[in-house]
Amino acid sequence: MSIALYRLRLYWDGRRGAARNGDDTLILFETPRLPGAQRADELAEIDYAPEVDVAQVREREGDWREMTPDEVAAAEALLASLSRSGWARERAALPSERAS
């Protein structure tokens, strides 16, 4: 699933990832922290794209599972902070830009 296809997206594959809120995209080089989520330090992978009802995580010692309400709230808070923070950002390629 491409980061550029959705307005809200949080993705981490264990080595790299991205967080997107609208046109603000943060490329991730370390595991994103989901404050308030139980066992957030045990998350190995995250796939959150609410527009297509994807909300799942994989813990270091387990299979993929649905995110808990606390994890979803933490992911939403992280994505909301993108437009308010001083984090380094780069503009995500929009579908029309990729076609050129």
Helix residue spans in the chain (DSSP H): 69-82, 95-99
Token couple for 95: 């579908």
CA angle 67, 9, 64 (to 5 degrees): 30
Alpha carbon distance 85, 69 (integer Å): 24
Tokens 């995209």, located at residue: 25
Tokens 């993705």, located at residue: 11
**pLDDT given for residue 1 in this prediction:** 59
Per-residue tens of pLDDT for the chain, all 100 residues: 577 789 999 999 999 999 999 988 899 999 888 877 777 778 899 999 999 999 999 988 889 999 999 999 999 999 998 876 554 444 444 444 444 4
**pLDDT given for residue 97 in this prediction:** 45
**pLDDT given for residue 95 in this prediction:** 42
Cβ–Cβ under 8 Å, residues 71 and 37: yes
